[in-house]
Amino acid sequence: MTERPYVIDKMISAKAIAARIEALCMDIEAEFSGTDKLVVVGLLRGSFVFIADLVRELDLPIEVDFLETSSYGDGMESSREVRILKDLRGTIEGRDVLVVEDIVDTGYTMSHVIRLLKGRKPAKLRSIALLDKPSRREVDVSSDWIGFEIPDEFVVGYGIDFAQRNRNLPYIGKVRFT
């Protein structure tokens, strides 16, 4: 298979991401003040860098767990079919939970995950997404906190990939085919 050549145009710098995470964490700490332990549920794989930076900035007792979902495969378009590839290891019943997503696009993944986790009866369930593309929304869902609202561009970097590439970029960039 021949891959189409592309370049990546920087959209959001590493410095801007770090500053936004710091501001978001202040809001999250206020929302969850008094919690005995916040369960941060990361949606793998795209959110792993965001989760790492987020939990290091939060001044709260934290437990980290992961769900792995799939709705893209190696393509650029969502299949709209959300599959759980890896479930949580621990229980969230009666606990405070923050779901961490890399990007909310059509909304299918976030909607599916929120519905799944609500059924497990957490004390409080909130969500955060690093990126939001409201112009692409097909499902009525929104995150409690958003890092950045972006236009309908295919993006990579800061944990987000294109066919398992470019996750290691320290910034968010848009893919432009040449």
Asked whether residue 22 is domain-assigned, the answer is: yes
CA distance to 18, 96, 121, 139, per residue, from 126 (Å): 21, 8, 13, 17
Sign of CA dihedral 7, 3, 171, 31: positive
Six-digit token string for 128: 């955060």
Strand order in the sheet with 172-177: 6-12, 172-177, 155-156
Confidence of residue 70 (pLDDT cuts 50, 70, 90): confident
Position 1 in a domain = no
pLDDT, one tens digit per residue, over 30-56 is: 999 999 999 999 999 999 999 999 999
pTM over 0.75: yes
The number of domains in the chain is 1
Question: What is the arithmetic mean of pLDDT over 73-93?
Answer: 78
Establish whether 105 is a catalytic residue. Answer: yes
CATH number, position 136: 3.40.50.2020
Element (H, E) at 85: strand 83-86
Residue 96 pLDDT greater than 60, yes or no: yes
Q: Please, are residues 141 and 104 in contact by the beta-carbon 8 Å criterion?
A: yes
Domain span including residue 16: 6-177
Tell me: pLDDT of 4 over 90: no
Catalytic residue among 53, 96, 102, 105: 105
